[in-house]
Chains A and B, each alone.
Chain A
Amino acid sequence: AQKVTQAQTEISVVEKEDVTLDCVYETRDTTYYLFWYKQPPSGELVFLIRRNSFDEQNEISGRYSWNFQKSTSSFNFTITASQVVDSAVYFCALSEMSGNSGYALNFGKGTSLLVTP
Protein backbone atom coordinates (compact mmCIF):
# COMPACT_ATOMS: atom_id res chain seq x y z
CA ALA A 1 0.00 0.00 0.00
CA GLN A 2 1.22 3.46 -0.82
CA LYS A 3 2.20 5.21 2.39
CA VAL A 4 2.84 8.59 0.81
CA THR A 5 0.47 9.97 -1.79
CA GLN A 6 1.29 12.86 -4.04
CA ALA A 7 -1.86 13.18 -6.08
CA GLN A 8 -0.51 15.82 -8.45
CA THR A 9 1.59 14.13 -11.10
CA GLU A 10 2.47 17.26 -13.05
CA ILE A 11 1.97 20.94 -12.41
CA SER A 12 2.74 23.75 -14.82
CA VAL A 13 2.82 27.38 -13.70
CA VAL A 14 4.06 30.65 -15.05
CA GLU A 15 6.95 32.32 -13.32
CA LYS A 16 6.04 34.36 -10.24
CA GLU A 17 2.93 32.33 -9.54
CA ASP A 18 2.58 30.60 -6.19
CA VAL A 19 2.25 26.83 -6.29
CA THR A 20 1.37 24.24 -3.65
CA LEU A 21 2.45 20.62 -3.84
CA ASP A 22 0.27 18.24 -1.88
CA CYS A 23 1.43 15.31 0.22
CA VAL A 24 -0.75 12.94 2.21
CA TYR A 25 0.78 10.18 4.29
CA GLU A 26 -0.37 7.11 6.12
CA THR A 27 1.17 5.66 9.27
CA ARG A 28 0.18 3.95 12.50
CA ASP A 29 3.17 5.32 14.36
CA THR A 30 2.82 8.24 16.72
CA THR A 31 6.44 9.18 16.11
CA TYR A 32 7.53 9.64 12.54
CA TYR A 33 9.36 12.03 10.27
CA LEU A 34 8.40 13.65 7.01
CA PHE A 35 10.77 14.93 4.36
CA TRP A 36 10.69 16.83 1.10
CA TYR A 37 13.35 16.33 -1.55
CA LYS A 38 13.89 18.09 -4.87
CA GLN A 39 15.16 16.16 -7.90
CA PRO A 40 16.29 18.43 -10.75
CA PRO A 41 16.72 17.02 -14.28
CA SER A 42 20.31 16.06 -13.48
CA GLY A 43 18.94 13.42 -11.11
CA GLU A 44 20.49 14.11 -7.73
CA LEU A 45 18.24 14.43 -4.70
CA VAL A 46 18.36 17.68 -2.78
CA PHE A 47 17.15 17.65 0.81
CA LEU A 48 14.68 20.46 1.54
CA ILE A 49 13.11 19.86 4.94
CA ARG A 50 12.56 17.40 7.76
CA ARG A 51 9.61 17.60 10.14
CA ASN A 52 8.84 15.41 13.13
CA SER A 53 5.34 14.34 14.03
CA PHE A 54 5.25 16.38 17.21
CA ASP A 55 5.99 19.68 15.59
CA GLU A 56 3.02 21.08 13.73
CA GLN A 57 4.37 24.55 13.38
CA ASN A 58 4.47 25.78 9.85
CA GLU A 59 7.92 26.52 8.51
CA ILE A 60 9.12 29.14 6.10
CA SER A 61 12.48 29.22 4.40
CA GLY A 62 12.78 31.98 1.86
CA ARG A 63 10.23 31.33 -0.89
CA TYR A 64 9.49 27.88 0.49
CA SER A 65 6.93 27.10 3.16
CA TRP A 66 5.49 23.93 4.57
CA ASN A 67 2.14 23.27 6.17
CA PHE A 68 1.91 20.21 8.40
CA GLN A 69 -1.61 19.18 9.39
CA LYS A 70 -1.66 16.06 11.53
CA SER A 71 -5.45 16.01 11.57
CA THR A 72 -5.53 15.45 7.82
CA SER A 73 -2.19 13.62 7.59
CA SER A 74 -0.90 16.17 5.15
CA PHE A 75 2.43 17.89 4.70
CA ASN A 76 2.02 20.37 1.85
CA PHE A 77 4.77 22.41 0.28
CA THR A 78 4.28 25.88 -1.17
CA ILE A 79 6.65 27.79 -3.39
CA THR A 80 5.96 31.50 -3.48
CA ALA A 81 6.80 33.56 -6.54
CA SER A 82 8.02 30.53 -8.45
CA GLN A 83 11.09 30.73 -10.66
CA VAL A 84 12.24 28.73 -13.66
CA VAL A 85 14.98 27.17 -11.52
CA ASP A 86 12.27 25.62 -9.35
CA SER A 87 11.41 23.27 -12.22
CA ALA A 88 12.08 19.77 -10.91
CA VAL A 89 10.40 16.71 -9.49
CA TYR A 90 9.55 17.06 -5.83
CA PHE A 91 9.25 14.04 -3.56
CA CYS A 92 7.59 13.79 -0.20
CA ALA A 93 8.88 10.96 2.01
CA LEU A 94 8.04 9.29 5.31
CA SER A 95 10.33 7.67 7.86
CA GLU A 96 8.70 5.52 10.52
CA MET A 97 10.11 3.98 13.65
CA SER A 98 8.18 0.77 13.03
CA GLY A 99 9.22 0.58 9.38
CA ASN A 100 11.73 -1.75 7.83
CA SER A 101 15.09 -2.22 9.44
CA GLY A 102 17.36 0.75 9.00
CA TYR A 103 14.40 3.08 8.55
CA ALA A 104 14.59 3.64 4.83
CA LEU A 105 12.44 6.35 3.35
CA ASN A 106 9.05 5.69 1.81
CA PHE A 107 8.74 8.05 -1.11
CA GLY A 108 5.66 9.37 -2.81
CA LYS A 109 5.48 9.15 -6.59
CA GLY A 110 6.62 12.71 -6.95
CA THR A 111 5.18 15.85 -8.50
CA SER A 112 6.82 17.22 -11.60
CA LEU A 113 6.80 21.00 -11.49
CA LEU A 114 7.40 23.02 -14.63
CA VAL A 115 7.82 26.76 -14.28
CA THR A 116 7.74 28.66 -17.55
CA PRO A 117 8.95 32.20 -18.13
Chain B
Amino acid sequence: GAVVSQHPSRVICKSGTSVKIECRSLDFQATTMFWYRQFPKQSLMLMATSNEGSKATYEQGVEKDKFLINHASLTLSTLTVTSAHPEDSSFYICSARKAGQGYNQPQHFGDGTRLSIL
Protein backbone atom coordinates (compact mmCIF):
# COMPACT_ATOMS: atom_id res chain seq x y z
CA GLY B 1 0.00 0.00 0.00
CA ALA B 2 0.87 3.71 0.16
CA VAL B 3 1.54 4.29 -3.51
CA VAL B 4 2.08 7.77 -4.88
CA SER B 5 1.81 8.32 -8.60
CA GLN B 6 3.46 11.30 -10.22
CA HIS B 7 2.78 12.31 -13.81
CA PRO B 8 4.37 13.02 -16.20
CA SER B 9 7.70 11.38 -15.54
CA ARG B 10 9.50 13.52 -18.08
CA VAL B 11 8.74 16.78 -19.81
CA ILE B 12 10.73 18.62 -22.45
CA CYS B 13 9.29 21.91 -23.60
CA LYS B 14 10.12 25.34 -24.88
CA SER B 15 10.85 28.34 -22.74
CA GLY B 16 7.70 30.23 -21.81
CA THR B 17 5.51 27.15 -21.62
CA SER B 18 3.53 26.34 -18.49
CA VAL B 19 3.85 22.80 -17.22
CA LYS B 20 1.52 20.97 -14.87
CA ILE B 21 2.72 18.07 -12.73
CA GLU B 22 0.26 15.83 -10.92
CA CYS B 23 0.81 13.96 -7.69
CA ARG B 24 -1.77 11.36 -6.71
CA SER B 25 -2.06 9.12 -3.69
CA LEU B 26 -3.53 5.96 -5.14
CA ASP B 27 -4.58 3.94 -2.12
CA PHE B 28 -4.75 6.42 0.73
CA GLN B 29 -5.94 9.90 1.54
CA ALA B 30 -3.33 12.59 1.97
CA THR B 31 -4.20 15.84 3.71
CA THR B 32 -0.63 17.00 3.24
CA MET B 33 1.60 16.69 0.21
CA PHE B 34 5.07 18.10 -0.24
CA TRP B 35 6.83 19.34 -3.35
CA TYR B 36 10.60 19.07 -3.55
CA ARG B 37 13.05 20.16 -6.21
CA GLN B 38 16.36 18.49 -6.89
CA PHE B 39 19.01 20.01 -9.15
CA PRO B 40 21.63 17.65 -10.63
CA LYS B 41 23.88 16.13 -7.99
CA GLN B 42 22.14 18.17 -5.30
CA SER B 43 19.90 17.35 -2.40
CA LEU B 44 16.13 17.54 -2.31
CA MET B 45 14.96 20.96 -1.30
CA LEU B 46 11.44 21.56 -0.06
CA MET B 47 9.57 24.02 -2.23
CA ALA B 48 6.17 24.03 -0.61
CA THR B 49 3.74 22.19 1.60
CA SER B 50 0.39 21.54 0.01
CA ASN B 51 -2.64 21.28 2.28
CA GLU B 52 -5.95 19.95 1.05
CA GLY B 53 -8.54 22.68 0.87
CA SER B 54 -6.24 25.54 1.79
CA LYS B 55 -3.39 27.59 0.38
CA ALA B 56 0.03 26.04 0.06
CA THR B 57 2.86 27.12 2.31
CA TYR B 58 5.93 28.11 0.33
CA GLU B 59 9.52 27.99 1.47
CA GLN B 60 11.58 31.14 1.48
CA GLY B 61 12.83 32.02 -1.95
CA VAL B 62 10.19 30.04 -3.84
CA GLU B 63 7.95 32.24 -5.98
CA LYS B 64 4.34 31.35 -5.30
CA ASP B 65 3.18 33.05 -8.50
CA LYS B 66 5.55 30.98 -10.56
CA PHE B 67 4.97 27.64 -8.87
CA LEU B 68 1.23 27.31 -8.50
CA ILE B 69 0.04 24.54 -6.21
CA ASN B 70 -3.48 23.23 -6.03
CA HIS B 71 -4.60 20.53 -3.61
CA ALA B 72 -8.28 20.24 -4.38
CA SER B 73 -8.87 16.73 -3.10
CA LEU B 74 -7.44 14.30 -0.59
CA THR B 75 -5.72 12.33 -3.33
CA LEU B 76 -4.44 14.94 -5.76
CA SER B 77 -2.04 17.86 -5.66
CA THR B 78 -0.80 19.66 -8.75
CA LEU B 79 2.23 21.84 -9.30
CA THR B 80 2.15 24.20 -12.26
CA VAL B 81 5.39 25.81 -13.34
CA THR B 82 4.20 28.94 -15.12
CA SER B 83 6.18 30.45 -17.99
CA ALA B 84 9.02 28.02 -17.41
CA HIS B 85 12.58 29.04 -18.24
CA PRO B 86 15.77 26.97 -18.59
CA GLU B 87 16.73 27.68 -14.98
CA ASP B 88 13.56 25.87 -13.92
CA SER B 89 14.91 22.65 -15.40
CA SER B 90 15.13 20.24 -12.52
CA PHE B 91 13.81 17.04 -11.00
CA TYR B 92 10.55 17.69 -9.19
CA ILE B 93 9.35 15.09 -6.72
CA CYS B 94 6.28 15.00 -4.56
CA SER B 95 5.54 13.12 -1.40
CA ALA B 96 2.42 12.47 0.58
CA ARG B 97 1.60 11.69 4.16
CA LYS B 98 -1.43 9.65 5.05
CA ALA B 99 -4.24 11.59 6.67
CA GLY B 100 -4.01 11.40 10.43
CA GLN B 101 -0.35 10.47 10.52
CA GLY B 102 2.27 12.74 11.98
CA TYR B 103 5.87 13.65 11.45
CA ASN B 104 7.13 10.31 12.62
CA GLN B 105 5.76 8.44 9.65
CA PRO B 106 7.75 8.06 6.45
CA GLN B 107 6.54 10.10 3.57
CA HIS B 108 5.63 8.23 0.44
CA PHE B 109 7.33 9.62 -2.62
CA GLY B 110 6.31 9.73 -6.22
CA ASP B 111 8.81 8.70 -8.87
CA GLY B 112 9.56 12.29 -9.81
CA THR B 113 9.25 14.45 -12.91
CA ARG B 114 12.30 15.41 -14.88
CA LEU B 115 11.61 18.83 -16.40
CA SER B 116 13.81 20.14 -19.18
CA ILE B 117 13.19 23.62 -20.57
CA LEU B 118 14.85 24.38 -23.87
Interface size on B, residues (CB 8 A): 28
Total A-B residue contacts, Cβ distance less than 8 Å: 66
Shortest CB–CB separation between residue B77 and chain A, in angstroms?
Answer: 12
B:2-22 near A, CB below 8 Å:
none
Shortest CB–CB separation between residue B114 and chain A, in angstroms?
Answer: 7
| One of B62-70, B81-89, B105-113 at the interface | B105-113
A:63-82 near B, CB below 8 Å:
none
A:91-117 near B, CB below 8 Å:
91, 95-97, 99-110, 112
Q: A43-B112, A44-B111 are in contact. Are A104 and B102 (CB under 8 A)?
A: no
Cβ contacts under 8 Å, A47 to chain B: 106, 108-109
Interface size on A, residues (CB 8 A): 27
Q: A50-B104, A108-B43 are in contact. Are A43 and B111 (CB under 8 A)?
A: yes
In the complex, A82→B104 CA distance in Å?
29
CB within 8 A of B57: which of A42, A50, A101, A110? Answer: A101
Shortest CB–CB separation between residue B71 and chain A, in angstroms?
Answer: 11
Q: Are A109 and B104 in contact (CB under 8 A)?
A: no
Q: A102-B57, A104-B34 are in contact. Are A109 and B49 (CB under 8 A)?
A: no
Interface residues of A (CB under 8 A from B): 33, 35, 37, 42-45, 47, 50, 52, 91, 95-97, 99-110, 112
